[in-house]
Amino acid sequence: MMWLGVDGGGTKTEFVLFDEEMRPRERFRLGTCHPGQVGYDGMTAVLGEGVGLASAAAGAAGDTICGVGLGLAGYGQDPAIRARMAEAVRAAVGDVPTELMSDVEAAWASTLGLRDGAVVICGTGSIAFGRRGDETTRAGGWGYQVGDEGSGYWIGHEVLRLFSRQADGRDPRGALFDTVMRELEFSAPYDVITYARDVLAGDRTRIASLTRVLRAAADAGDPAALACYQRVAAELADIVRAVVEALYGRDAVAGGLAVGDGAADTKIPVGYVGGVFEGAGEFLLEPLAQALPAGCALVAPAYEPAAGPCLMLRCRLGVSGPADRAEGADASC
């Protein structure tokens, strides 16, 4: 038997076939299935195409798909939208057992392997989500017009702001100034004005792509770039703090507490996922680990995002095994 995990975001939809040990065997990538961008019929079409490709791959291996888990952006709090998305999923998947959840909840399930704790997601936007038993909560994720502090979009704006300060001489010119001039092919610093207006043009994805410039400047040792990563870490740690305080209380977050097997002074696990982490690496992970509350510990992802909904489905169907859970995972689904 094989399990199909679907990770649907705002720019792409990834389909991953997992074996019984939850090891990835095949993967396919298609365009976004977000109904806000392609409509509900378009959502059904993208999901149907991906399921068809995965079914053919499973059949070629002499196997079948016994369940489909989907973590989809847009599957949020609105009951009407949730119902329409569920209908689109049923039309694409058919009668195969399914588990449909938000991409945020899927990130928790995959990074922590169904274990109680929190996850911070940092891509174009930023949000934190946590679960303790049957209780869940979230912080951040208000959108770029309101917040999304520490996100790729936020970093992109910071890159241009720091560049302007170095261009003026308000801050010493360093590698960040030189990197922006080179990477964005400016002939003069004031080219940033037309670049922001005509090239970026308010596009969130394009602005977020400037995270690569920050990484290049940090690689070159630019103090402003390194300090920017410290601020990103502080912002992300803040939304994590809000989540874990809501679930565990301030006293527990300030120190250790009994979680999982009941041992004393156990840290609350905090996972991480998203393109900003992939691009920044230790420039962000190290300060984030230091910025988290004392009662929390940053942990590496247990699985890739597409696995999360499959883990929940397997648990619900009662077919989960040792491969599904990180050490100390809660028994409830």
The C-alpha atoms of residue 269 and residue 111 are separated, in whole angstroms, by 10
Beta bridge partners of 4: 17, 68
Query: Residue 22: CB partners within 8 Å, gap ≥ 6?
Result: 3, 303, 307, 310, 311, 323, 324
Q: What pLDDT, on the 0 to 100 scale, is given for residue 326? A: 56
Closest by alpha carbon to 113, among 317, 314, 284, 252?
314
Give the tokens for residue 286: 């190290």
* Digitized pLDDT (tens) for each residue of the chain, 333 residues in all: 899 999 998 778 999 999 999 999 999 999 989 998 899 999 999 999 999 999 999 999 899 999 999 999 888 878 999 999 999 999 999 999 999 999 999 999 999 999 999 999 998 889 999 999 999 999 998 887 888 899 999 999 999 999 999 999 999 999 999 999 999 999 999 999 999 999 999 888 899 999 999 999 999 999 999 999 999 999 999 999 999 999 998 877 777 554 544 444 588 999 999 989 999 999 999 999 999 998 999 999 999 999 999 999 999 998 866 555 555 555 456
Tell me the C-alpha distance between 308 and 59, whole Å. 23
Q: Residue 198 has which token pair?
A: 């005509």
Burial class for 136, CB neighbours closer than 10 Å (0-12, 13-18, 19+): middle
Residue 260: predicted pLDDT: 47
Give dist(CA 6, CA 24) in Å, integer.
Answer: 12
- pLDDT of 10 reads 75
% of the chain surpassing 70 pLDDT: 93
Q: Which domains does the chain have, with CATH numbers?
A: 2-115+303-324 (3.30.420.40), 116-301 (3.30.420.40)
Tokens 């917040």 sit at which residue? Answer: 147
Count of positions (residues) in the chain: 333
Q: Is 51 helix (H, G, I), strand (E, B) or coil?
A: helix
